[in-house]
């Protein structure tokens, strides 16, 4: 997936797949964002990546963090407003469309 110009990227990293899935579910339900990918980082760390406008990504990440923390551990979260295209290309390497 090519990240559209002007869109933001939202990240949620958890310890384990179950909190990541719970967080991803709430992220996608809370705001108008699209799932870009998820990454199994190693050492049981899982990162979920979404894209949308800045406000939507912020709302989605906030909802995802709250949901994931309710059942597990959140290790990191972030929103990058309007990243340069090279960053979008990096996160698109393992996008959902390739699975």
Q: Which pLDDT tens digit goes with each residue over 40-73?
A: 887 899 999 999 999 999 999 999 999 999 999 9
pLDDT of residue 10: 96
pLDDT of residue 93: 58
Query: 0.75 cut: is pTM over it?
Result: yes
Please state which CATH class domain 8-98 belongs to: alpha beta
Cα dihedral 38/11/32/25 (nearest 10): 50
**Domain range list for the chain:** 8-98
d(CA 40, CA 34): 19
Q: Give the number of other Cβ atoms within 10 Å of residue 31's Cβ.
A: 21
Radius of gyration of the chain (CA): 12
pLDDT in tens, 22-49: 999 999 999 999 999 888 887 899 999 9
Give helix 17-30 / helix 54-71 axis angle, nearest 10°: 140
């Amino acid at each position: 997936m090519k990240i559209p110009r002007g869109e933001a990227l939202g990240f949620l990293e958890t310890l384990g797949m179950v909190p990541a899935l719970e967080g991803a579910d709430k992220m996608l339900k809370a705001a108008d964002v699209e799932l870009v990918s998820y990454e199994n980082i190693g050492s049981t760390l899982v990162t979920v990546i979404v894209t949308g406008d800045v406000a939507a990504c912020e709302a989605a990440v906030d909802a995802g963090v709250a949901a994931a923390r309710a059942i597990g551990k959140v290790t990191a979260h972030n929103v990058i407003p309007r990243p340069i295209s090279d960053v979008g290309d990096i996160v698109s390497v393992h996008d959902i469309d390739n699975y």
